[in-house]
Chain A
Amino acid sequence: MDAVRNDNPFAVAPRGDNPFAKITDNVSRIVEAERPPRAWYIAFGIALMLLTIFLSAITYLAWEGIGVWGNMIPVAWAFDIINFVFWIGIGHAGTLISAILFLLRQNWRTSINRFAEAMTIFAVICAAIFPGVHIGRPWLPYYMMPIPNQMEMWPQFRSPLEWDIFAVSTYATISILFWYMGMIPDFATFRDRSKTAIRRFLYGIVAMGWRGSSRQWHRYERAYLILAALATPLVLSVHSVVSFDFATAQLPGWHATIFPPYFVAGAIFGGFAMVVTLAVPARQLFGLKRIITIDHLELMNKILIATGLMVGYAYGMEFFVAWYSGSMYEGFTFINRAFGQYAWAYWTMIFCNVVTPQLHWFPKIRRNPWATWVIGVIINIGMWFERFVIIVTSLARDFLPSSWGYYVPTFVDYMMLGGSFGLFFTLFLLFCRYLPMVAMAEVKAFHPSVLSHGHGHGEHHGESHDAPVAAHAGH
């Protein structure tokens, strides 16, 4: 598309005399290069700076107590829980791409699933920090685990907050297992291409002696299918459980049966927005345009339209139910949400989440990488505001007018919000540099040259299938 740029070693075509070797080289050279592009250093520097801010804010918080936040009765949950729900939602797109699209035989997912999964794990790490520090005594979160102790104290298993602990920790574990298992064959590729002993040793350790045996591939693929089948209901359950934190409370604006599907749709929406936000610069920077093509971006943008409409429907339905229920408190909450003191947040959310994605109806916009990126960033902002609107507007105007308040975040709140992006991008940039950013084995398996060829079941060479992508997904 654009000319070869001198400062980017990845702008040239990958080496190799066959399509498989080209894929290998295209992905491996990112890790094997002497040094990454200059843009990587700049981004990494900024990310490290934000990470330092994050760690300082957490240290200050642990030292001083959560009074350093702006949370004040009646708004007892604010940036801490907003950021938690925001990050955990981001993660959902990764699992959706790696598990649900796998079960649905959407083979285009192979080029983006690896870094979507990485994004999931880093987002879950960012998310897990917030409930960990918001409990006030961040050295005691193990109280929430069922550990036998001298106080004979057990967790309360009928509380949605306890369900959260199990849902998020299970989600993190399964995501890491899924991610790691997917990388084993690619680690083996790195190991076999390594030029130095230490590189060979380190990638060899994590590749566990994988040599691509077909008997192992058989069990591997079965395990992958099982994990996908497990992760699919899991990802739906995680944000449902997160929504229970709100839906089981009796606060108007939270107490709604629409919350689980509404939260899941919003999570996928926000997560896909984050995937395109990361994919556009990554494919540019690391020369992955042949693997993550414009067609892939377009497919993701179509999912953004679909999930954006679902989220918009949920916003409308909340208002309808508030009116239809006849509950004066519900009615007040929603009128107040749209026209009260936080109207600016509400209309920011509507603009970012409902209006902006409609631009993707135009093929010119949804096939333009940088337009895609801008819209992705706007949607991320909108999804953060969605959680702000749900949490803060409902709490600030509760049942007793005498306790009404107005939430104002403090400097530490902003440091923790910005700093969590530092943690996320630090991990993501390290991932880009040291781990296989694209699932090479999966991309090769679905390469057109493999798919268009006769491949077993007694056919002879040269017999091509009429519907290559759809027909070859099954194993």
Chain B
Amino acid sequence: MSDHKNDESSSTGSVPLHGLLAEYETPWQLVDASKKVRDARYQRWDTFTPFPVHGIDRAMGIRMTILPWIVLVAGLTGLASAILLQWWTNSFDYPWIVSGKPLFSIPANVPIMFEMTVLFSGITTLVGMLMLNGLPHPSHPLDLKERFARATDDRFFLLIEASDPKFDAKQTRALLETTGAAVLDEVLEDRVTSDRLPKIVTYGMIILTTAAMIPLALAAKARYTKSRDPRIHLIGDMDWQPKYKAQRQNPVFDDTRAQREPVAGTIAVGDLREDDHYFRGKVDDEFARTFPFQLPLTQQTVERGQERYGIYCAPCHGLLGDGRGMVTQRAESLIDSGRGRGMAWVEPTNVNQAHIAAQPVGQLFDTITNGIRTMPAYGPQIPTEDRWAIVMYVRALQKKNGAAAAPAPAPTPAPAPPTQTPEPGSNAP
């Protein structure tokens, strides 16, 4: 194209020569030129192309980069870090017990091992490539050549630096002239671009760095000082939630109750206590004289009653039912020794008395359920079936102690009451 002999810019002053630049129109011209420069054993030279030209590595004698090995090391580091991280956090520092799984097992940790291997390798690939290539590289003497801008567009360049030990202004030029370069040009060292950062950048960085220290300084100060103030709640809804707390009003509902009323006209499953005989010991508003049909009249029931009697009744009424339980004995010993000054004690009822033995079983059940005089109600504590079992045991005690009541309890349970609906789930006879 143009005559390269015209570009004699080295005579324009004392600026030293950076190198010789040859421009080519096609990549294959550049590849051929590269072979010649390579064979002439130049060392400090390079080619510049808008895209990776195939085969130029070999034409220039570029050796394989060590980048893959660096990436391999980084990948293994990522793998080891992942194993260490998962082992240390989940099985050593804070052993996580989940579903009886082993604290550390490779299969469950493979996904994160894989991801961290790839992450470390990928970042190292880019950073390693940039560092090996000396990037970022803000300024270069070639930037002063206007035609060199086409190196990223459609032209192909070859630069032999003047610092090459074999560089000789005449010989090198002669060599490049044989390669069919479209333009051959001298590149001068860059004496135009300043090496100094602009002042605004310098001051800006100082100010930003200083400002970046402020939060760190505040954090460090907070770490080494004590304060009586509660900690700052940036988002407080986790700490102050509208919810019921014990012994408080419930802010969630208008009626401030925590326990909600059932829907009007409904009864929870199992709460339908229609059977008066079983749940209240009454038949037609009179105390029942028979045991309800739900109660099996068996040895096990009596034994169950004996066990429950021992737990709930014997402390006061005594194991024999004579009212001489441990609580009574203790009270009397306190009064007798004078330590129980001002204390009064009413002895619990002897259940073997004739008038008690004469009571219908329904009445005994009612007494246990609702209490009488100083005796509290045991209905909330003892399940219905157990209360009936206790009644049965008391009857057995009365019989044993000869408190022959007027009519002994009927030997057979009452027939299933026809007017009552049996409680669902209860054992029918």
Q: Do A and B come from one complex?
A: yes
Interface positions of A (Cβ within 8 A of B): 16, 18, 20-21, 24, 137, 139, 146, 152-158, 160, 162-163, 166-167, 170, 173-174, 177-178, 180-181, 185, 188-189, 191-193, 204, 208-223, 226-227, 230-231, 233-234, 237, 241, 244, 440-442, 444-445, 450, 453-457, 461, 472, 475
Closest CB of chain B to A151's CB: distance in Å?
A: 10
Q: A227 vs B119: C-alpha distance in the bound complex, in angstroms?
A: 10
Contact A174 B122 (CB under 8 A): yes
- Residue B406 lies at the interface, judged by CB distance under 8 Å to chain A: no
Tell me which residues from 322 to 368 in chain B have a Cβ below 8 Å from any Cβ of chain A.
none
Contact A185 B115 (CB under 8 A): no
Contact B126 A223 (CB under 8 A): yes
Q: A221 vs B49: C-alpha distance in the bound complex, in angstroms?
A: 13
Which among B49, B60, B71, B139 is the interface contact of A212 at CB below 8 angstroms?
B49
A158-B96, A213-B47 given; 18 more Cβ-contact pairs under 8 Å: A152-B93, A154-B90, A157-B85, A158-B109, A167-B111, A170-B115, A170-B119, A173-B122, A174-B118, A189-B153, A214-B53, A214-B57, A219-B65, A219-B132, A227-B122, A230-B125, A445-B51, A454-B28
Contacts of B320 in A (CB 8 A): none
Do A445 and B90 contact each other (CB < 8 Å), given the known contacts A158-B109, A192-B153? Answer: no
In the complex, 17 of the A-B residue pairs with CB atoms within 8 angstroms, ordered by the A residue number, are A24-B153, A154-B94, A163-B112, A189-B50, A193-B149, A209-B135, A209-B139, A213-B46, A213-B47, A214-B57, A215-B46, A220-B129, A226-B125, A227-B126, A230-B122, A234-B115, A456-B53
Contact B90 A223 (CB under 8 A): no
Closest CB of chain B to A420's CB: distance in Å?
A: 25
Closest CB of chain A to B410's CB: distance in Å?
A: 44
- Which 5 A-B pairs give the minimum distances between C-beta atoms? A456-B55, A209-B137, A20-B154, A223-B129, A154-B89
Q: A455 vs B29: C-alpha distance in the bound complex, in angstroms?
A: 9
Contacts of B142 in A (CB 8 A): 211
Closest CB of chain B to A84's CB: distance in Å?
A: 17
Contacts of A208 in B (CB 8 A): 130, 135-137
Interface positions of B (Cβ within 8 A of A): 25-28, 31-32, 34, 46-60, 62, 64-65, 67-68, 71, 85-86, 89-90, 93-94, 96, 98, 101, 108-109, 111-112, 114-116, 118-119, 121-123, 125-126, 128-130, 132-133, 135-140, 142, 148-154, 234-235, 238
Contacts of B57 in A (CB 8 A): 214, 218
Name which residue of chain B comes closest to A188, CB basis: B152
Contacts of B47 in A (CB 8 A): 213-214
Q: A442 vs B62: C-alpha distance in the bound complex, in angstroms?
A: 21
Contacts of B34 in A (CB 8 A): 214
Contact A455 B28 (CB under 8 A): yes
Contact A472 B54 (CB under 8 A): yes
Q: A178 vs B121: C-alpha distance in the bound complex, in angstroms?
A: 12
Q: A226 vs B132: C-alpha distance in the bound complex, in angstroms?
A: 15
Contacts of A226 in B (CB 8 A): 67-68, 71, 121, 125
B49, B65, B86, B128 — which one has the most chain A CB atoms within 10 A of its CB? B49
Do A189 and B68 contact each other (CB < 8 Å), given the known contacts A173-B123, A218-B62, A219-B133? Answer: no
Which among B58, B96, B151 is the interface contact of A156 at CB below 8 angstroms?
B96
Closest CB of chain B to A188's CB: distance in Å?
A: 5
Contacts of B86 in A (CB 8 A): 157
Q: A244 vs B112: C-alpha distance in the bound complex, in angstroms?
A: 13
Contact B58 A154 (CB under 8 A): no
Contacts of B132 in A (CB 8 A): 219
Q: A230 vs B74: C-alpha distance in the bound complex, in angstroms?
A: 13
Contacts of A237 in B (CB 8 A): 111, 114-115, 118
A192, A204, A241 — which one has the most chain B CB atoms within 10 A of its CB? A192
Name which residue of chain B comes closest to A18, CB basis: B154
Q: A457 vs B34: C-alpha distance in the bound complex, in angstroms?
A: 12
Name which residue of chain A comes closest to B49, CB basis: A212
Contact A158 B90 (CB under 8 A): yes
Count of A-B contacts judged by CB separation below 8 Å: 224
Do A173 and B119 contact each other (CB < 8 Å), given the known contacts A157-B109, A211-B142, A214-B46? Answer: yes
Contact A233 B118 (CB under 8 A): yes
Contact B111 A212 (CB under 8 A): no
Contact A456 B59 (CB under 8 A): yes
Contacts of A472 in B (CB 8 A): 54
Contact A157 B90 (CB under 8 A): yes
Contacts of A24 in B (CB 8 A): 50, 153-154
Contact A219 B115 (CB under 8 A): no
Contact A456 B50 (CB under 8 A): no
Which among B28, B108, B115 is the interface contact of A158 at CB below 8 angstroms?
B108
Contacts of B93 in A (CB 8 A): 152, 154
Q: A413 vs B156: C-alpha distance in the bound complex, in angstroms?
A: 55
Contact A167 B52 (CB under 8 A): no
Name which residue of chain B comes closest to A19, CB basis: B154
Contact A223 B67 (CB under 8 A): yes
Contacts of B111 in A (CB 8 A): 160, 163, 166-167, 237, 241, 244
Name which residue of chain A comes closest to B54, CB basis: A455
Contacts of A214 in B (CB 8 A): 34, 46-49, 52-53, 56-57, 60, 62
Do A166 and B98 contact each other (CB < 8 Å), given the known contacts A213-B47, A216-B135, A475-B52? Answer: no
Contacts of A166 in B (CB 8 A): 111-112, 115-116
Closest CB of chain A to B329's CB: distance in Å?
A: 55
Name which residue of chain A comes closest to B87, CB basis: A157
Closest CB of chain B to A339's CB: distance in Å?
A: 34
Which among A20, A137, A173, A218 is the interface contact of B153 at CB below 8 angstroms?
A20
Contact A456 B62 (CB under 8 A): no
Do A457 and B116 contact each other (CB < 8 Å), given the known contacts A16-B154, A177-B125? Answer: no
A155, A215, A234, A441 — which one has the most chain B CB atoms within 10 A of its CB? A215
Contacts of B62 in A (CB 8 A): 214-215, 218
Contact B140 A211 (CB under 8 A): yes
Q: A208 vs B59: C-alpha distance in the bound complex, in angstroms?
A: 27
Contacts of A152 in B (CB 8 A): 93-94
Q: A230 vs B28: C-alpha distance in the bound complex, in angstroms?
A: 32
Contact A455 B31 (CB under 8 A): yes
Q: A237 vs B115: C-alpha distance in the bound complex, in angstroms?
A: 8
Name which residue of chain B comes closest to A209, CB basis: B137
Do A212 and B50 contact each other (CB < 8 Å), given the known contacts A177-B125, A227-B125? Answer: yes
Do A230 and B118 contact each other (CB < 8 Å), given the known contacts A210-B135, A222-B67? Answer: yes
Closest CB of chain A to B74's CB: distance in Å?
A: 10
Do A217 and B238 contact each other (CB < 8 Å), given the known contacts A209-B136, A209-B140, A455-B55? Answer: no
Name which residue of chain B comes closest to A474, CB basis: B54
Closest CB of chain B to A430's CB: distance in Å?
A: 23
Which among B28, B90, B116 is the interface contact of A170 at CB below 8 angstroms?
B116
Q: A193 vs B152: C-alpha distance in the bound complex, in angstroms?
A: 9
Q: A215 vs B38: C-alpha distance in the bound complex, in angstroms?
A: 13
Name which residue of chain B comes closest to A186, CB basis: B152
Q: A181 vs B122: C-alpha distance in the bound complex, in angstroms?
A: 11
A152, A154, A156, A453 — which one has the most chain B CB atoms within 10 A of its CB? A154
Contact B152 A185 (CB under 8 A): yes
Closest CB of chain A to B173's CB: distance in Å?
A: 21
Contacts of A213 in B (CB 8 A): 46-48, 133
Closest CB of chain B to A58's CB: distance in Å?
A: 16
